[in-house]
Chains A and B, each alone.
Chain A
Amino acid sequence: MSTRITIQPVTRIEGHAKVTLHVDEDGAINGAQFHVIEFRGFEKIALGRPFTEMPGLMARICGICPISHIIASSKAGDMLLGVRTPRAAVLQRRLLTDAQILQSHALSFFHLSSPDLLLGFDAPPSKRNLFGVAETDVEFARAGIRLRQLGQRIIEGVTGKRVHPNWGIPGGVLGAVPGELRDEVLARLPESYAAMDDALGRAKRWADQYAPEIEGMGNFPSLHAGLVGADGAPDYYDGKLRLVDGDGNVVAPGLDPRRYFEYLEERAEPWSYMKFPFYKPLGYPNGMYRVGPLSRLNVATCMGTERADREFVELRQRGGGAVNASFHYHLARLVEMVGALERMERLFADPELLSADVRSRAMLNEEEGIGSCEAPRGVLFHHYKVDGNGLVTSANLLIATAQNNLAINRTVEQAARRFVKPDALQEGMLNRVEAAIRCYDPCLSCSTHALGQMPLVLELVGPDGTVRDRLQRE
């Protein structure tokens, strides 16, 4: 007889998912699945629409990282036009990439994950949220809010809107960066660096304090993938895809993202709307690879900026050749936020950032366009084919979070085996499974679509499918 434990909804992640844990006759966990239960069908609704509409439409895949979708989509559009995008537009796209890293990582660390870290995984569920954090340490909560706000404010300052701006287009962007924004942002930087120092100090203490969680929340060797530049630092806007294995050995030094289909492939499984990408040469599911903050730092050899480089060196010492414990995604996220602040400071020092020469115009010149960039959660690909009138005839999207799908499933199983005792179930055990998922900061609205929330229910199901017992979490 086998039984099953269901966690639904998984909370404090960006999207809707449930988890099934399989329990064998001896009461031990012998399997786990992470189900994404959202679907919106962007591959279909893009069809028949002009490619120039894609950045605006594709932004709506996700309200957290719309900038990444706009950029990947605009870059695919650049390729369809066959133009070279003006430098000022590239600088602007880089600026907003960094602003989005800042706001999205702040959301993940402060708003969604810090309740577990600051209050503890076993804290009362009603307190485990941003307001519970504020009750305990209002300045810490405020620092997180202000870091996220700075990222959002930069996006708003450039585009006029914080979420889903009309901004990116094939060939460039729509307008110039206003000069006042530079002064406003530069004035905020000292406070922001100080807030990052404080957050990093805490995160390092937590990384020492939560040893069982580091061991049990997704600690296994796997491939890591991310875009890197010629200097070895992550290049979030225009890098080549590098893969390393769990020992840090380079598996592929610099693949062309425009040829992703030659080395990446996806499988669908009928128990999840989110697909399972894998690295083709190793097959399915051995070709599991991780993407996102930790993986980017694993494939990179430096960060390319002073403060972030110091933190990078320290973080990499937490692993051998590669840091394989997914718990360290949290720390990696903070290192990336520091890097984003420094790169934005650098970008604002470049006078061309404010140039109004931000758009190259052309007619349609190509039939196929592929755009890639690093979204906060990992590398992202948009791939369109169009007809002679520029109407989309096929759209393929390879979303960051989906590329972590195999790893998240593996992580859920590891965390469940480690922390969940099916015969003496406690809420904190299940929260640890959810917290393991939160390490990846999964954005499931990106991956497919959203579902309403159901209570968390533990069901003991007999082999005939009948529910033997039911336990509900408040």
Chain B
Amino acid sequence: MDTVKTRLATVWMGGCSGCHMSFLDLDETLLELAAKVELCYSPIADAKEFPEVDVTLVEGCLANREHLAEIRHIRARTKILIAFGDCAITGNITAIRNSVPLGVVLSTAYGDPRFGQTQGVLPVLLDEAMPLHEAVKVDYYLPGCPPSAEKILDLVGSLLAGEPVNGSKRFG
């Protein structure tokens, strides 16, 4: 029997990779998941262009202009978009810098308030890092820093089974 696999993507934006590590903490369940899911795009895979997918887990918040363009592109190509972890949901750690002007943050790190912002090589930082839902529609929120592997499986598992989802559809 050849079942149609659910097309899954995982994306890493302004986060620490901890949410992705929690996904890998599914351990051997990953091998079972591979029977039902096709991982089409992820930092742990080599696809370079974001394809059309059923479900996308997005770790991290939007911290620079490339993130902003990318999340819109992803939203247009994904059926169910999940804000994966507290950074994606609230900005969390990445957004702590919002309390001071960007120039001051850059000065502290590099001694230059416009470091990297003018050469066209590095992505230009947003003045304030922001959660996903400020830019695009989010279908589910999966909280935690990071969300535990069990919670990830709970949500992804329900989506795969077409069952009602035991997760939050709203923010807060």
Whether A45 and B64, one on each chain, are in contact in the complex, defined by CB atoms closer than 8 angstroms, is no
Whether B119 and A451, one on each chain, are in contact in the complex, defined by CB atoms closer than 8 angstroms, is no
Q: Does A62 contact B (CB under 8 A)?
A: yes
Q: Does B145 contact A (CB under 8 A)?
A: yes
Whether B48 and A455, one on each chain, are in contact in the complex, defined by CB atoms closer than 8 angstroms, is yes
Query: Shortest CB–CB separation between residue B62 and chain A, in angstroms?
Result: 8
Whether A454 and B63, one on each chain, are in contact in the complex, defined by CB atoms closer than 8 angstroms, is no
Instruction: Pick from B16, B39, B42, B109: contact of A44, CB below 8 A.
Output: B109
Q: Does A350 contact B (CB under 8 A)?
A: no
A15 and B44 CA atoms in complex are apart in Å by 10
Whether A41 and B108, one on each chain, are in contact in the complex, defined by CB atoms closer than 8 angstroms, is yes
Q: Does A445 contact B (CB under 8 A)?
A: yes
Instruction: Pick from A130, A131, A451, A473: contact of B48, CB below 8 A.
Output: A473
Which residues of A (435-468) have their CB < 8 Å from a CB of B?
443, 445, 449-456
A473 and B69 CA atoms in complex are apart in Å by 20
Query: Shortest CB–CB separation between residue A63 and chain B, in angstroms?
Result: 2
Whether A11 and B121, one on each chain, are in contact in the complex, defined by CB atoms closer than 8 angstroms, is no
Residues of A within 8 A of B104 (CB): 44
**Interface residues in A, total, Cβ within 8 A:** 67
Q: Does B77 contact A (CB under 8 A)?
A: no
Instruction: Pick from B20, B27, B97, B122: contact of A41, CB below 8 A.
Output: B97
Which residues of B (9-29) have their CB < 8 Å from a CB of A?
11-22, 24-25, 27-28
Residues of A within 8 A of B159 (CB): none
A39 and B49 CA atoms in complex are apart in Å by 23
Residues of B within 8 A of A115 (CB): 46
Q: Does B94 contact A (CB under 8 A)?
A: yes
Which chain B residue shows the least CB distance to A444? B17
Q: Does B146 contact A (CB under 8 A)?
A: yes
Which chain A residue shows the least CB distance to B43? A11
- Residues on B facing A (Cβ under 8 Å): 11-22, 24-25, 27-28, 30-31, 34, 39, 41-50, 60, 63-64, 66-67, 69-71, 74, 93-94, 96-97, 100, 104-106, 108-112, 115-116, 119, 121-123, 125, 145-146, 148-149
- Residues on A facing B (Cβ under 8 Å): 8-9, 11-16, 20, 35, 37, 39-41, 43-45, 47, 57, 60-64, 66, 107, 111-112, 115, 125-126, 128-131, 134, 138, 141-142, 145-146, 148-149, 152, 162-164, 268, 270-273, 275, 431, 443, 445, 449-456, 472-474
Q: What are 12 contact pairs spanning A and B, CB under 8 A?
A: A11-B45, A44-B97, A45-B96, A63-B22, A107-B24, A149-B28, A164-B145, A164-B146, A270-B121, A453-B11, A453-B50, A474-B48
A-B pairs with lowest CB-CB distance, top 8? A63-B18, A452-B70, A456-B48, A125-B46, A129-B45, A455-B49, A44-B108, A63-B17
